[in-house]
Structures are given as C-alpha cells and as structure tokens.
Amino acid sequence: MKNGKVYLVGAGPGDPDLISVKGINCLKKADVVFYDRLLNERLLNAAPAEAERIDVGKVAGKHTKPQDEINRLLAVKAREGKTVVRLKGGDPFVLGRGGEEGEFLKQNSILFEVIPGITSAIAVPAYAGIPVTHRGVSSSFAVITGHEDPSKATSSINWEKLATGVDTLIFLMGMGNLEEIVARLVEQGRPVTTPAAVIQDGTRPEQVTVSSSLENIVSRAQERHLVSPAIIVIGEVAGLRDRLSWFENRPLFGKRILVTRAAHQASALSQLLSEGGAQTTELPAIEIRPVDDPKELDRAILNLKEYHWIIFTSANSVAAFWQRLGELKQDSRALTGLKIGAVGPATAKSLEPRGIIADFVPKVYSSQGIVEGLEKLDIDGQRFLLPRVDIADQALMEGIERLGASADEVPVYRTVPATEAMTRAKELLLVGEIDAITFTSSSTVSNLVAAFGEHPVLTDGTKVACIGPKTAETAVKAGLKVDIMASEQTIPSLVTALEDFFTKTEERRL
C-alpha cells in the first residue's frame, strides 16, 4: 500500500478565521485529524464528517498523549495510505514541536508538508492593540518560551543579553512563571518603568488584556485572576495599546448571546454577531422538517397555472417548495407566467439561485407590509398561492382576501422543538450565563418557552431581542419582556439593534 501524506498545519492563535486558505483546504480532504487543545470547533468541523479525529492536546502537567506517541501515530496513519492533518495551534515551527514531528516523519520515509500558521506571538498582541514593532519605538522583537523555569541554574535563555538587547519581548506559555520572568529581566537591567501587558485568551471573544509597568504587571495580572493561555509582552510598544486597541472596543465585545434559530440558519446570524465582538452559542430552538402529508402541496404545484401570484414569506418556504418541486420532477419553468412575491430581501435573495427574481418585495417586511404593498396593485379577482409554515397565522390570507383576491394557504414545512439543544439552553439561561437571547420567529419563542415548562425562561440581566413585531408579540404573550427589536425584519438589522442597545448601555454606565 502506498503511504499517505502528513500535513503539519498551523491553525493560528484562536480566532478560527485566521487559519490560511491552504490549511482549510487540507482539512477538507483529511482522513485523520490530530488536534491540539483549545482549537475552535469550527476548524474541526471543516474536516469531512467521516474523518477520524484524535485529541492530542497538552495541558501543563498533563498530556493526552506524549510527543513520542504522537509522532508514532502520525506515521502509522500515513502508512495506512491516509491523508493526515496534524492541526496545531499557532504556527507548527514556533514553539510548537512541529520540527520534531517533521524529523520523525522524514526518518521514517513519510512524506510531509508544512502549512505555516499565524503565530500567537504576533497575532495576540495585534488583537490587543500592540504592534510588536513600531517606527521610533521598536525595531526588534524576540519570541521566548516562558515555560522554562527561569530559576534553574542551567537556563537556556541568555537573560543578560535578552533583557536589554531586544526592544520587544514576547513570552509564550509563561503565565505560571510571570513573577520569575519579571525578576530576571529587572535583575539584568530592564527598567521597571517599561510598559508590559498580559493577554489571556487572545483573539477569542473572551480575550482579557491587562496593561501596566514591568514593576506592577504581576500584581495587576493577579488582581484580574489571569491564567493560561496567555501571552506576555514587554517593551515600549505595550504602551501603544491605548491608541491602537480595536478588538475589545467592538460594540458586542464580551457579550454572550444565545442564537435561537433553525440549525441550518444559525451560522449566518452567529457570524454577524461574532464580527461585532459577541461570544455566540448556537442553540436552535427549532428544527425544520417536511410536512407529514404533502398531498395539498402536490396538488398546488401540479395546478400552478390556476394561480396569478405566489408569495413566499421566508427562505424556509422557498427551500421546502423547491425541494418538493424537484421531487415531483419539475423545476422553475413550472412558475412561468406567475408573479412572485417575497416578504423581504433575504427571502428574495434565496430565490435568485433558483433562477427567480422577485416581482414584489414590500417596503415593510411583514405580512401587514405585503398587504399594504399589494393594495397599490390591481389584484382584484386574482388568485394567490401562499406556501408557508404549518402554524402560520391567517393575517396575510385575510388581508389578501379583503383586497378582492382569493388565497390558498398551503403548508410546505413544519417546525419542531430541537430537544437536545433546548436542554443546553436551559442550563445556560438558568445560571445567568447569557447576556441576550435572539428570537427570529414566533416558533423559536414558543418552542423555547414550552421547553421550560413552569420555570422562568430568563434570569435578571438577560435581554430579549426580536426580529420583528410578530415575534415580539409572541414573546410578550409568553411573559417575556422585549428589550430589543430590529427596525427591519432582517438578520443584519437585528444585529445592528443589539449593537446599538449595548453601546448605549455602556455609555450610560460610564
């Protein structure tokens, strides 16, 4: 059997978006992934579902597998003809023992390739607003292991030259030795007034940065109870943080937001929230499933020529309608001659890949907005098809009929509670670990509230954000106080409303 190949891939410092395109492409074709601790789950999910995943993470004083065993397993899997990815935090060759793994593979005639990653030594300070070099301030930097015991007589670090010979000093894995590191540098001539910073969980939503002088950095880090993983930066550049801080200044930074949406839709909302600085937890309150009996839908599809209009009220209805269309061996040509309406831009956009450009999108993205928009058109005597969720209210159909048209409301999908996700949601909400909860439909509200039974859904401090008035009305009826509502019924508008709310809250606090 021909040997496979091993890719030593740098995953970057923590933010999953910082991995290289080549690194992601390697993961997509992996048969086996050996991964470090603290890696974002999104990176592991990039590998095929059937790929074997092996945890080889290391914590101070405890290794899942010793390095010799990791080396051996890499070779074993490659000899089975598999494509192996060794996914390492940061860069494989920066204090990552990737060199040792490469040497072992070379000695055993295993083909390997190194995919560099962004090292935490540079990325984490950058996310804290600290450039490792800066004109007129620092023209050199050194990356040093902080894991070595500085008090031992045979230290491999040349403290005398390091202390004053390099402008910026960056220590990795040094949190447990911070006091010793500071003492060594001061002893060898580094001024106690030198700016310093400690950055915990760098590039992650929970990042914490403490800045001070070299003299006081230990006590400041202790006051904030900082622990590993953390990066230590010592040098004049650490004093630039006040001018260059950006990551921790984003409007939703540090906010923990629960995303209750259908599983296949949650990632888009989570991505926008993450870009605003939030730490998101995707716990879909509903799952989207086909209707139990599609006879009514089939009848409508097979008689589309009897209609003048089709109005889609969600991207879910578009997806479910086209799925059934395909199952009946039909395609977009079946809609020839019909006018197509969409409740909003997101629904209209979901039609475009199917070759359909919406003829009508209301200015207000709601059932009422659709009726108000149609009122300006001549629809008297026309017939409408409304493919919708099985629990939709009658407001849209009744509004169309008031305008002199007729409407057939046909269920195309149904929503059911996501039971396992609900259990996790209850745990987080009941202990007060959520700052805000998002609702993007009435069904997400109803299913979450039903899962709690007689227990209150929210604890003090948890805010409720709704995508529109209909969802907000359902939340209020369920006994929830709505704190935030989108100005338009779109995901971007919901995120903007959350950002505005928490920005104003912070301003009032200050």
Which of the residues are catalytic?
36, 58, 173
Q: Is the separation of the CB atoms in 128 and 241 below 8 Å? A: yes
Give the DSSP letter string of 392-453: --SHHHHHHHHTT-EEEEEEEEEEEE-HHHHHHHHHHHHTT--SEEEE-SHHHHHHHHHHHT
CB atoms under 10 Å from CB of 302, counted, come to 12
What's CA 131's distance to the chain center, in Å?
A: 26
Q: Is 504 exposed, middle or buried (0-12, 13-18, 19+ CB in 10 A)?
A: exposed
- With a CB cutoff of 8 Å and minimum separation 6, the contacts of 50 are none
Q: In the sheet where 52-55 sits, what is the strand order?
A: 52-55, 32-35, 83-88, 5-10, 111-115
Q: Is the separation of the CB atoms in 341 and 309 below 8 Å? A: yes
Whole-angstrom CA distances from 1 to 51, 80, 91, 309 are: 20, 7, 31, 61
Closest CA to 113 of 2, 24, 8, 27: 8
What's CA 277's distance to the chain center, in Å?
A: 10
Closest CA to 503 of 276, 257, 258: 276
Distance CA 510, CA 502 (A): 12
Q: Is the separation of the CB atoms in 268 and 410 below 8 Å? A: no
For tokens 């061996």, name the residue: 329
The three-state DSSP-derived secondary structure of 80-114 is: CCCEEEEEECECCCCCCCHHHHHHHHHHCCCEEEE
Distance CA 360, CA 379 (A): 13
Distance CA 324, CA 331 (A): 10
- Give buried/exposed letters for 69-93 (b at 16+ CB in 10 A, else e): ebbebbbebbeeebbbbbbbbbbbb
